[in-house]
Amino acid sequence: MRAIALAAALAVGCAAACAAQAQDAAKEIQRYRQMIAEGSPAELFELEGEALWKKPQGPKNVSLEKCDLGRGAGVLKGAYARLPRYFKDADRVMDLETRLLYCMVTLQGRSQEEATKRVFGSADRPSEMESLSAYIAAQSRGMKLDPGVSHPKEKQSVELGRALYFHRAGAWDFSCASCHGEEGKRIRMQDLPVLYKPASARPIIATWPAYRVSTSQFVTLQWRMNDCYRQMRAPEPNFGSETTVALIHFLTATAKGEPYRGPGSKR
């Protein structure tokens, strides 16, 4: 009897101490996030992206300045906050990176193969897509996320994204929801947000793309989808494929209404 009482006392003791410890950890993580958000090198990528946006390239030797991101040719202000959306000229839903790729092919006359050869860069050599994303996303700071959700193809894309989020597949039989489906979970320092719920999706989606401190890289949402599929041991999705765009579309539609605060900083 005494042993049971002691065990119970120990259990209660741990419950209090462990909760305090978890709270301390959460507070420290919060403090760390604040520190890395101040003076984020994301701004350096914005500068690089601006130069790339204006640089004539490709067989036609033209810049991307005439690229229509949904607000008219060359309009950047608020363009990112309204993506992904349906584009009539391409007859499909596109996110920022897919649209940029479309412009590289149609405006600059580059081949799909050449333009997608190196979409994800390294710390030593960031990719063109990453810097451009930083620059363009920054022009939507403070604006509410408002992706297209009214066109039939947009509705279809969001629904496909939702289905993919919960669809288990691959060698480990994982879905996005396997990790991002339960509240209060984290891997080491990384919270695992339940991204199909607006309350969790809002602060996350509003800070992508972002600078990743641990790898000194600027990362985009296309990269995030690609790398999540890699971690799930699923076949690699194509850059700008219907799958990745649908997932990004679903997540952004879930976060709709949140003021954009990126490009952010991630662990």
Partner 1 sequence: MPGPMKMRATLGQGFTDVRVLMTHPMETGQRKDSDGKLVPLHFIQNLTVKVNGKPVVEAQISQAVSRNPVFSFRLKGGAKGDKIEVSWLDNQGETNSTEAAVA
Using CB under 8 A, list all residues that contact partner 1.
38-39, 41, 43-44, 47-48, 123-124, 216
Query: Least distance (Å) from partner 1 to the CB of residue 125?
Result: 10
Tokens of 246: 């649908």
CA distance 43 to 48: 9
In order of 90, 177, 203, 229, the CA distances from 105 in angstroms are 12, 35, 33, 26
Query: Least distance (Å) from partner 1 to the CB of residue 24?
Result: 25
One of 14, 103, 179, 228 is an active-site residue; which one? 228
- Length of the chain, in residues: 267
Query: Least distance (Å) from partner 1 to the CB of residue 36?
Result: 10
Largest CA distance in the chain: 85
* Backbone CA torsion sign across 44, 51, 248, 144: positive
Output 113 or 124, the one with its CB closest to partner 1. 124
The reply to whether 103 belongs to the active site is no
Please give the DSSP secondary-structure letter assigned to residue 80: G
In 3-state terms, what secondary structure has residue 57? strand
Output 2 or 125, the one with its CB closest to partner 1. 125
Output 102 or 218, the one with its CB closest to partner 1. 218
Output 41 or 58, the one with its CB closest to partner 1. 41
Nearest to residue 134, comparing CAs of 202, 32, 63, 51?
Answer: 51
Query: Least distance (Å) from partner 1 to the CB of residue 264?
Result: 15
Nearest to residue 260, comparing CAs of 96, 74, 39, 126?
Answer: 96
In order of 84, 180, 184, the CA distances from 193 in angstroms are 21, 6, 8
Query: Least distance (Å) from partner 1 to the CB of residue 48?
Result: 6
Output 150 or 214, the one with its CB closest to partner 1. 214
Nearest to residue 160, comparing CAs of 84, 71, 259, 81?
Answer: 84
- What residues are annotated to the active site? 228
